[in-house]
Amino acid sequence: MMRLLIPLFSLLLVASAGKAQSGIRLTLEEAQSIAAERSYTVRYATMDKEEAASSTREIIASGFPQISGAVEYNRYIDIPTQVSSGDAFGFPDYLTTFLGNVSQSTGVPLDAPQVDPDAIQEFQFGAEQTVTAGITATQLIFSPSYFVGIQASRAYASAMEAAESKSVADARRAAGEAYAAALAAKENVGLLKEAESLAREAVDQTRALVQEGLAEATDADQLELAWMEVTQQRITAESMAAVTQDVLKFSIGMPVKTNVILADSFGSLEDRFDGAAVLGKPFDAVRLPEIRSQSKNLELSELNIRNEKSLGLPSIGAFYTNQRNAQRDAFDFLGEGSWYPIQLVGVQMSIPIWSSFAGKERVIQAELTRDRAATALEQLTEAATLEYRAAVSEYTAALEQRQQAQRTLDLAERILDHTRVRFTEGLASSFELTQIQNQRLTAQGSLTQATLRWLNAHLRLQRSLNA
């Protein structure tokens, strides 16, 4: 819980510092840090990790003494009746023989009733109301599955920690991509505002030339049409920029209604992103959290085989019971009546003898699960290597594309500056000026998209290296 409160407290501090601008200023690194703590996937992964740690403690605790108490009250509506044969409680054989001998020697006959072989006797034992109270303690002495279970639970907890690390890495990349997209949308709005301003300026200048008879009204209309089109593009871009900011806030676990100000720009990120350092870092799949997680899954499958084999071994446990029993004809258990003690201590051993080959089949199934986990680990390792190579290729291509887009923009701006001079001198038409302005706008948009692709490629390369 404290881990979740820390970023919230940080947000409040940032919000307080940024009240003058009526919003929370976020850099890319701050957005990624918040996502590493507050994104929904990370929060779920953290809960899974804590649950796994709790399960480990629960399994360990099951091997310590367990004590339970019980109180039982019974009121017999009908006391149970026991029956026996009529002579079940007759004289013993030696006494019967002795009395017969005495009768013969004295001549005095025995006046005994006739024996009825079908007669039965009825007995009722116990009181109408009883209370039994006591405690029972048990202690596990030896169980192979218990020790394997502890190892498995610890391996599972480690797997959940690796899964949390993977969620953090994925959240940071997703937050970075969402921030870059919001930044690109913001840059696009700024570009269109600039283009709108230039188009409006060209319209006003052309109207002035028309009044002086140096240009035709059609030229002014043509430029105004271009200005209206850019204005509409700017309105649409502002709407898209708002959407991308909402996506950013959702991806980092921030309320969508929060007002966010992007503190970074493409220029600042370019200075901070060192592609050479990332490209120079060696690839090692073992560092990746998904590989570590799958390695733990393989370890779990190995432990499962050991557990299935251990089920054929005996388990030993000890127990102790201490009870007190009271029997009353009326509900008077707090009086002076007697309480009869019952104490019992013992050891119990459970020995599997024959399972009709079911245990053998469970071991075979566990081994197949282990083989499947090993294959999955091999597949993930190869996929991670492929992803790294693809990320390097993507980054190299994106870097070249961005450099080419910058050269194209520089050229388009030089052409636009030259065309404006020619248009002012009456050597270029309004159609030509509009076309060149659109060309420059397209070049600027291409640079923005190339920069966005380069940033995403950088984030992808970082993720593939777990950097």
The residue-averaged pLDDT of 407-414 equals 93
Q: What pLDDT sits at residue 87?
A: 65
CA dihedral 227, 232, 236, 238 (to 10 degrees): 50
Question: Which H/E stretch holds residue 69?
Answer: strand 66-75
Band the pLDDT of 31: cuts 50, 70, 90. Answer: very high
* R_g of the chain, CA atoms, integer Å: 44
Strands 129-142 vs 315-328: parallel, antiparallel or unpaired: antiparallel
The residue-averaged pLDDT of 63-82 equals 89
Q: What pLDDT sits at residue 128?
A: 86
**pLDDT tens digits, 140-164:** 998 888 889 899 998 999 999 999 9
pLDDT at 85 over 60: yes
**Closest C-alpha to 349, from 396, 313, 403, 296:** 313
DSSP state of 115: P
Q: Which domains does the chain have, with CATH numbers?
A: 2-38+144-313+355-465 (1.20.1600.10)
* DSSP letters for 409-467: HHHHHHHHHHHHHHHHTTSS-HHHHHHHHHHHHHHHHHHHHHHHHHHHHHHHHHHHHT-
Averaged confidence pLDDT in the chain: 85
**pLDDT tens digits, 351-391:** 888 888 888 898 999 999 999 999 999 999 999 999 999 99
pLDDT at 139 over 80: yes
Q: What pLDDT sits at residue 2?
A: 36
CB atoms within 10 A of CB 446: 18
pLDDT at 117 over 70: no
pLDDT at 195 over 90: no
- Tell me which of 119 and 295 has the higher pLDDT: 295
Q: What pLDDT sits at residue 220?
A: 82
pLDDT at 3 over 60: no
pLDDT at 116 over 90: no
The residue-averaged pLDDT of 327-345 equals 85
Residue 98: C-alpha distances to residues 104, 106, 109, 110, 233 (Å): 10, 12, 13, 12, 126
pLDDT at 186 over 50: yes
Q: What pLDDT sits at residue 285?
A: 92
pLDDT at 269 over 60: yes
Strands 66-75 vs 129-142: parallel, antiparallel or unpaired: antiparallel
pLDDT at 258 over 60: yes
In this structure, what token pair is assigned to residue 139?
């202690």
Band the pLDDT of 10: cuts 50, 70, 90. Answer: very low
pLDDT at 72 over 90: yes
The residue-averaged pLDDT of 123-152 equals 89
**pLDDT tens digits, 437-450:** 888 888 988 998 99
Using a 10 angstrom Cβ sphere, with 0-12 exposed, 13-18 middle and 19 or more buried, the burial of residue 249 is: buried
Instruction: Please report, rounded to a whole number, the percentage of residues in the chain having pLDDT higher than 90.
Output: 49
pLDDT at 58 over 50: yes
Q: What pLDDT sits at residue 316?
A: 92
Q: What pLDDT sits at residue 16?
A: 38
The residue-averaged pLDDT of 112-135 equals 78
Is residue 168 within 8 A of residue 293, CB to CB? The reply is no
**pLDDT tens digits, 298-332:** 999 999 999 888 888 899 999 999 999 988 888 87
The residue-averaged pLDDT of 239-267 equals 92
pLDDT at 12 over 60: no
Q: What pLDDT sits at residue 327?
A: 86
d(CA 250, CA 178): 9
d(CA 74, CA 325): 11
Q: What pLDDT sits at residue 223?
A: 81
Predicted structure pTM score: 0.77
Band the pLDDT of 113: cuts 50, 70, 90. Answer: low
- Which range, of 2-11, 94-103, 337-346, averages the lowest pLDDT? 2-11
Instruction: Please report, rounded to a whole number, the percentage of residues in the chain having pLDDT higher than 70.
Output: 91
pLDDT at 224 over 80: yes
**Closest C-alpha to 454, from 280, 261, 262, 278:** 278
